[in-house]
Amino acid sequence: MGLGSIIFLYGFCPAFFLIYYLLPKRFRNAALLLFSLAFYAWGDPYCICVLTLSVVVNFLLGRLLSGDRSAGTRKCIFVAGCCLNILLLGVFKYTGLVFQTVCSAIGIELTTPMLPLPMGISFYTFQAVSFLADAYRRRIKAGPVGFSLYMMMFPRVMQGPLMRYEDLAPQLDARTVDAERMAGGIFRFIIGLAKKVLIADVLGTASAGLGAVPDTVAGAWLGLAAYTLQLYFDFSGYTDMALGLGGMMGFSFPENFRYPYCSRSISDFWRRWHITLGAWFRDYVYFPLGGSRTTKPKLVRNLLVVWLLTGLWHGAGWTFIIWGLFHGVVICIEKLAGLEKRKIPSAVRHIVCMLLVMLGWVPFRSAGVGEMSAYFARMFGAGAAVDSAALLYLHDYLPLILIAAVGCTPLVSKLCSRLGEKRPTLAGALRCAAAVLLLLLCTVFLVNSTYQPQLYARF
């Protein structure tokens, strides 16, 4: 059950909010926790066992860290806790990669069955490590219900956004919802749903239809453009849904996207894309390594370590390692050459940035190094230039690609803001009409097609 499924929209969500608002405020956290457990267990009871184990173990470790113990003992507890979380993630996510690499090195072709990957394990493992780090610094202390909600609150459990416990704790103790905030949350949820169902899923059909490695150069570039837009609208759509649901409950979750495809450098792109993941690596890996206030060789080391780990976090495969290191190398070049400070026309910066981002999505989407190599070869001339299939897909999907390209910019938001300033009554009416229309369209699409899980849910 995903946030954009029919079961969630017309079953789980209405039942939850009906009970949530009928209960006195002091019982709402408990109700949210019970519904979160039900949400996560709905599709896979096996996954809820892994998540519950993680919650229990990390809560107990947090209690040990908050006790009156020597500095050495607390440091040992913290290191052991981090190792346990990394081990849990490694067992489920990277066992297959290790076995396949070893077998390949000794000349054995073996397809190792990987353990089922619990949904959202990368996200809640990082949440746990963040909690332990802050508990070790004596910045926080959590109760069982509060910590459980921090780890498994259903809008955030699968794909974030990532948060520090100290940012969520005050909201767990006291939060309010008025009519304006409720309406804003509903509208944002519907916008996110429309991004996912009406744009991302349709573009995904085009990307998949052209094949893992399209037959022509035009098909390869068209498929990559569709995937580039699909990935953004899929993940940012989920974030909008999560933030909308949070607003409807009185929570303020951090933003995770800020028009990343308007960036003018790769460094700028990663300040706008998956913002909370970047902040996590900055605070818990990059700064402890020394950050940028060090020698140039150490700066390069710090950046490459961060981006190697970022690639591994996204997936257990050499393509994700290549993707991470690709971004790390580009950012190293930008910083060492001072490219962000140089006077280069904005249009040139933007075109180069988008080209690099799109090239980076090739290994990200590929099933293996061979498929990645074949895709790059096709993009740059290995094969026919164009065929009837590519022209047909271009004809069918070009309007949506153009709409999606405009939707990646702040243009629509700025126009709506100006209308709201000049004609607030009209803007409010149009907003309500748009919300109703989009919800109806999404419902029709969901009823007449198979629900597609969010792309980032597999990470």
Q: What is the 3-state secondary structure (H, E, C) of the chain?
A: CCCCCHHHHHHHHHHHHHHHHHCCHHHHHHHHHHHHHHHHHHHCHHHHHHHHHHHHHHHHHHHHHHCCCCHHHHHHHHHHHHHHHHHHHHHHHCHHHHHHHHHHHCCCCCCCCCCCCCCCHHHHHHHHHHHHHHHHCCCCCCCHHHHHHHHHCCCCCCCCCCCCHHHHHHHHHCCCCCHHHHHHHHHHHHHHHHHHHHHHHHHHHHHHHCCCCCCEHHHHHHHHHHHHHHHHHHHHHHHHHHHHHHHHHCCCCCCCCCCHHHCCCHHHHHHHCCHHHHHHHHHHHHHHHCCCCCCHHHHHHHHHHHHHHHHHHHCCCHHHHHHHHHHHHHHHHHHHHCHHHCCCCHHHHHHHHHHHHHHHHHHHHCCCHHHHHHHHHHHCCCCECCCHHHHHHHHHHHHHHHHHHHHCCCHHHHHHHHHHHHCHHHHHHHHHHHHHHHHHHHHHHHHCCCCCCCHHHHC
Q: Which of 274, 314, 350, 395 is catalytic?
A: 314
* Dist CA 429 CA 70 (whole Å): 62
The tokens for 310 are 């970022």
The tokens 């849904």 sit on which residue?
Answer: 241
**350 in active site:** no
The residues annotated with a catalytic role in the active site are 314
